[in-house]
Chain A
Amino acid sequence: MRPEHWLFTISLRLRSLFRWAQADQDLDDELRDHLERRTEEYFAKGMTQQEARRRARLDLGGVEKVKEECRDARRVNWIQDLILDLRYGLRMLAKSRAFTVVAILTLALGIGANTAIFSCINAWIIKPLPYPRSDRLMVFATHDKKNGWTGEHVTSPADFFDFQRQNTSFEQIVAWAGAGLNLTGDGHPELVDGGRVTWNFFDALGAKPILGRTFIPDDDRSGAPHVCILGEGLWQGRYAGNPKIIGRNITVGGEAYTVIGVMPGTFQFPLMGIANLWTPLALTDKQRADRSGSWLPAFGRLKPGVTQEQAEAEAGVFFSGLEKQFSQTNANLTWLVNSMTWDIRRKEGGPELMIVFVIVGLILLIACANVANLMLARATSRTREFAVRGALGATEGRLAGQLLTESLLLFFLGGVAGTLFGFWLMRLIESWIPGRIRGYMINYGHVDLDFVTLAFTLGIALVCGLVFGLAPAFQNARLDVNQTLKEASGQASGGQRGARLRRIFVASEIALAVVVLISATLVVKSFIISIRTSPGYNPENVMTAQLVMPRTKYINDSQKRNFGEEVLARLRALPGVASAGAASNVPFGGFGQGVEVEAVRRPSQPGERTGAGFAAASPDYFSTMQIGLVKGRFFNSADSQGSSPVVIITQSFAREFWPNEDPIGRQIRFGEQHTVATIVGVVRDIMRDHLRERGGWLMFVPLAQFPSSTLAFVVRSSADPTMMATAIRDAIWSVDNDQPISSAPLETLIAVVDAGYRVMTKLMAFFGALAMFLGTIGIYGVMAHLVSQRIHEIGIRMALGASPVQVLRMVIGSGLKLAVVGVAVGIVVALAATRSLTTLLYQVAPNDPLTFTAVPILFVAVAVAACYLPACRAMGVDPIVALRYE
């Protein structure tokens, strides 16, 4: 059609659409006018008035048929059809309220689960980082080409500054180091998460302060006047949002810092956690020259037009130069350049989230299969309605369109309800993430129902409505009008095909539910095993209080030692305290220390040194933590400052170094000072940084021999440890009232670090239960419907002498057959699918025999139970009533 033609006719089309009633009236008038004229014509030819009218009508054919053809000619008909169908659909849904409510609730569960998980994926994985042109931001990792290890984010300061000077790929290169900073003066001492950063940190991220300025190069020199920038949260909290904060001095780590700026609360740097205080990195010349240790985290912003590959290639060339120049420190080392977005998202458990996404996808399929079954069942009981409409001239297409519209309407309403359920579920998931973890997530882990999520929800609702609406639509549109109208009661099942389709739906949804439930069970079982597995100590009822002694105040070892002993003495005296100990770090406390160790027995060979976790602990630490002793002894008061160094090591450490010998009395050499210590005890393996990992190699030395400036007090109380928090804090402050403390029950520390896994487990348990629930409803619905369809047949059987038990067996048997087929398929699929869960499993094989037996048995049992109610109904059938009910 030519464009101007189209332009010309569009108004006509719109008119016939919007002036629909008027157009219909016109059509009426036109045809009536015609009939009258024709009648007059015949009348003039000598027929009677009555005969003339009859002839005129015959000439025209069916008035309604002509009208319908005229409407068809107007071509916008499908929109009118749609409006009619929607109205009719709404009426039908309102009429069969039970069906509508069950279908919408089922869909709400299926769609809502997807909405919730998708909104998390959208917030944490799809959305860009909150920086301008965030795709240009790259993080670095030091990579050892020979040994294959990679140090995420870190580099050595000398490498960093050389590359910063010489590279041509980056606009800015930034180094930063996250730190807990002690804030004293102005009220309670406070340990604030923060970071030391090079001056260009904020510039590179494109962040502007809400007050004051950011750092300039002069701030970032060793010996420059101390300046700092506050986060809005800290500024509002501790300084009451005082606008005159700029230029004020605050005490950070015992030294005076001038506040020069305040960053908005929206500024975030997920690699640093919830930081609220920044100071310049200001490395000394000696630190800047350090090439031996990779400890300085760094990122950069690419110049326009430079790709990640080009930047990495440049870094490669640069580092191979360094390799030749500094073969001692830089052998085999190079930099990897990775997108910051990718790096941050990887941390948030993207793959795990995707597994959950697949799970909720399966749940949606189960829900849809349920609803499709309900629709099929309803379509069967509506066969007469459709046969009559067909007889009155509705085409197959119109009937199918009608059913499809009803299905879309239903799924749309399900989508709306699902959005509400999804919103609730999304908030629930969000609330499962502890605050400390949120700091490391994009937008602090905040999730919102935004446009993308709504579009996604609507999209899946309509696609499912279309796909799952097709089956009932075609089943009914193609029915044989004569056959259906002849069947007196309309009770006969709507063809064998419909019944078979329903059985296939149920069997497949059971199969899907089995897959989901097996996956969920495996994950939950792993979780239960992992929390039941002793971490090597007993975290119950233990309160921890961690602090960092400022270097300016605690200069020598005896000061540190005295402080620790003084606090311990006061803690032990507190009422309700069973025992108290101290260590340089506690498990999951975030201060994990490590050293290099070697066995003294062997001559020192380079490369044979091994890393081990390290902690200096007081004698009471072991009894307070209830660490299990395998061999030898714990520390005692004799292991003091003057005596010869002693060490306690963990079981797997001992086994590795002295596989078939008694380690007690052997010596190890460790640390930068190459201290030699004698092993006096071996303890059970201890999980310090992760649950679900083999206990790492750990060694303990006496705190009295190795005083530490980081201290963690552990207090075991007889009751709820949180009750002790204030008393512990006051006890510490009674020794030094300028000491910020971060205190939490040990169980909380573990829960925080383990949060991602816990969220994942909760989700899997939740969705496993949901899948089971939907599967059960599905099989119940189908059995109930099949029984009501076969009432007549059952009546005949009973009239011919079938006993109620035989009927019961028949009904349950047919349900059981479906369940067994579904479960069998489910097991096979699950065997293949659960392999992708391996990363989530702990001490549970992906094909765990117990799970693969228990879940199917459970399902078959539930299926039998679901068939029982309909079967009872079948047993209660009165043959007389059933046969008369035609």
Chain B
Amino acid sequence: MSKPSDLVQGTLDMLLLKILALEPMNGFAVSQRLKQVSGDVLQVSDGSLYPSLHKLEQEGWITAEWKTSEYGRRAKYYSLTRLGRRQLEKEADNWGRLSSAISRVIKLKEA
């Protein structure tokens, strides 16, 4: 499965969970939101977004629902499940610890 090269492995899952924690939305909206909040820094191609969403769904962290969209088409809306919320907390914790550890290392002054 192709992964965006500049995204730390496994963080895409966390980001997707976080975005879906805000409100249920469909794949396109997830992609837009991702670009928007990260200020185009995190480049996630549309091609790698959908397999990741399907994987999260398969894990039971998010669930999908078919609704009629604002354009009158059948559209798939994803939302976070209870399991997904727990997973998000766990990953966010991990991420917090990891990133603060890394920044501590980076901030070390050269002797």
Which residues of A pack against B, CB within 8 Å? Answer: 5, 8-9, 12-13, 16, 26, 29-31, 33-34, 36-38, 59-62, 65-66, 69-70, 72-75
Interface residues of B in 23-60 (CB under 8 A from A): 26-28, 31, 45-48, 50-52, 54-55, 57-60
Measured between beta carbons, the chain A residues less than 8 angstroms from B55 are: 73
- Closest CB in chain B relative to A339 CB, distance in Å: 56
Q: What are the nearest 8 A-B pairs in CB distance?
A: A61-B47, A69-B51, A73-B55, A73-B54, A37-B28, A9-B60, A70-B54, A60-B46
| A29 near B59: Cβ-Cβ < 8 Å | no
Could you say which of B4-12, B68-76, B103-111 contacts chain A?
B68-76
Measured between beta carbons, the chain A residues less than 8 angstroms from B71 are: 36
Known pairs A33-B73, A70-B50. 8 more at Cβ < 8 A? A16-B58, A33-B26, A33-B69, A33-B75, A59-B47, A61-B47, A69-B2, A69-B50
User: Of A30, A38, A75, which one neighbours B58 at CB under 8 angstroms?
Assistant: A75
B83 within 8 A of A: yes
Knowing A8-B83, A9-B59, say if A74 contacts B54 (CB, 8 Å): yes
Cβ-closest chain B residue relative to A71: B54
Knowing A8-B83, A33-B69, say if A66 contacts B50 (CB, 8 Å): yes
Measured between beta carbons, the chain B residues less than 8 angstroms from A29 are: 74, 76
Complex formed: what's the CA distance from A9 to B69 in Å?
A: 27
Knowing A59-B47, A61-B45, A66-B51, say if A34 contacts B58 (CB, 8 Å): no
- Closest CB in chain B relative to A829 CB, distance in Å: 51
Which residues of B pack against A, CB within 8 Å? Answer: 1-2, 26-28, 31, 45-48, 50-52, 54-55, 57-60, 66, 69, 71, 73-76, 83
Complex formed: what's the CA distance from A74 to B54 in Å?
A: 7
Complex formed: what's the CA distance from A38 to B59 in Å?
A: 27
| A9 near B46: Cβ-Cβ < 8 Å | no
Measured between beta carbons, the chain A residues less than 8 angstroms from B59 are: 5, 9
Measured between beta carbons, the chain A residues less than 8 angstroms from B57 are: 12
| B76 near A73: Cβ-Cβ < 8 Å | no
- Closest CB in chain B relative to A136 CB, distance in Å: 55
Complex formed: what's the CA distance from A772 to B102 in Å?
A: 73
User: Of B28, B51, B74, which one neighbours A34 at CB under 8 angstroms?
Assistant: B28
Knowing A8-B83, A70-B51, A73-B58, say if A34 contacts B73 (CB, 8 Å): no
Cβ-closest chain A residue relative to B57: A12
- Closest CB in chain B relative to A877 CB, distance in Å: 51
| A34 near B46: Cβ-Cβ < 8 Å | yes
- Closest CB in chain B relative to A563 CB, distance in Å: 94
Complex formed: what's the CA distance from A59 to B83 in Å?
A: 31
Cβ-closest chain A residue relative to B81: A8
Complex formed: what's the CA distance from A75 to B27 in Å?
A: 20
| A74 near B58: Cβ-Cβ < 8 Å | yes
Measured between beta carbons, the chain A residues less than 8 angstroms from B31 are: 34
Complex formed: what's the CA distance from A26 to B76 in Å?
A: 8
User: Of B1, B28, B54, which one neighbours A33 at CB under 8 angstroms?
Assistant: B28
Q: Which of A36, A37, A65 has the most CB of B within 10 A?
A: A37
- Closest CB in chain A relative to B88 CB, distance in Å: 14
Cβ-closest chain A residue relative to B63: A12
User: Of B1, B50, B58, which one neighbours A13 at CB under 8 angstroms?
Assistant: B58
Measured between beta carbons, the chain A residues less than 8 angstroms from B52 are: 73
Measured between beta carbons, the chain B residues less than 8 angstroms from A70 are: 50-51, 54
- Closest CB in chain B relative to A397 CB, distance in Å: 15
Complex formed: what's the CA distance from A69 to B66 in Å?
A: 21
Complex formed: what's the CA distance from A750 to B65 in Å?
A: 83
| B60 near A12: Cβ-Cβ < 8 Å | yes
Cβ-closest chain A residue relative to B47: A61
| A66 near B47: Cβ-Cβ < 8 Å | yes
Knowing A30-B76, A61-B45, say if A38 contacts B28 (CB, 8 Å): yes
Measured between beta carbons, the chain A residues less than 8 angstroms from B2 are: 61, 69
Measured between beta carbons, the chain B residues less than 8 angstroms from A34 are: 27-28, 31, 46, 50
Measured between beta carbons, the chain A residues less than 8 angstroms from B51 are: 66, 69-70, 72-73
Measured between beta carbons, the chain B residues less than 8 angstroms from A33 are: 26-28, 69, 73-76
- Closest CB in chain B relative to A148 CB, distance in Å: 73
Cβ-closest chain A residue relative to B59: A9
- 27 example contacts (A-B, Cβ-Cβ < 8 A) are as follows A5-B60, A8-B83, A9-B58, A13-B58, A26-B66, A29-B74, A29-B76, A30-B76, A34-B27, A34-B28, A34-B31, A37-B28, A38-B28, A59-B45, A59-B46, A60-B46, A61-B45, A65-B47, A66-B51, A69-B1, A69-B48, A69-B50, A70-B54, A72-B51, A73-B55, A74-B54, A75-B58
Complex formed: what's the CA distance from A12 to B62 in Å?
A: 11
Complex formed: what's the CA distance from A36 to B74 in Å?
A: 12
- Closest CB in chain A relative to B96 CB, distance in Å: 22
Cβ-closest chain B residue relative to A8: B60
Q: Which of A12, A31, A61, A70 has the most CB of B within 10 A?
A: A70
Q: Which of B28, B48, B54 has the most CB of A within 10 A?
A: B54
| B73 near A12: Cβ-Cβ < 8 Å | no
Complex formed: what's the CA distance from A60 to B59 in Å?
A: 23
Complex formed: what's the CA distance from A29 to B27 in Å?
A: 12
Knowing A33-B69, A73-B51, say if A61 contacts B58 (CB, 8 Å): no
Measured between beta carbons, the chain A residues less than 8 angstroms from B26 are: 30, 33
Measured between beta carbons, the chain A residues less than 8 angstroms from B50 are: 30-31, 34, 66, 69-70
Measured between beta carbons, the chain B residues less than 8 angstroms from A9 are: 58-60
- Closest CB in chain B relative to A59 CB, distance in Å: 5
Complex formed: what's the CA distance from A74 to B66 in Å?
A: 18
- Closest CB in chain A relative to B57 CB, distance in Å: 7
| A5 near B83: Cβ-Cβ < 8 Å | yes
| B73 near A36: Cβ-Cβ < 8 Å | yes
| B1 near A72: Cβ-Cβ < 8 Å | yes
- Closest CB in chain A relative to B13 CB, distance in Å: 11
Measured between beta carbons, the chain B residues less than 8 angstroms from A61 are: 2, 45-47
Cβ-closest chain A residue relative to B82: A8
Cβ-closest chain A residue relative to B26: A33
Q: Which of B1, B27, B55, B58 has the most CB of A within 10 A?
A: B58
| B46 near A38: Cβ-Cβ < 8 Å | yes
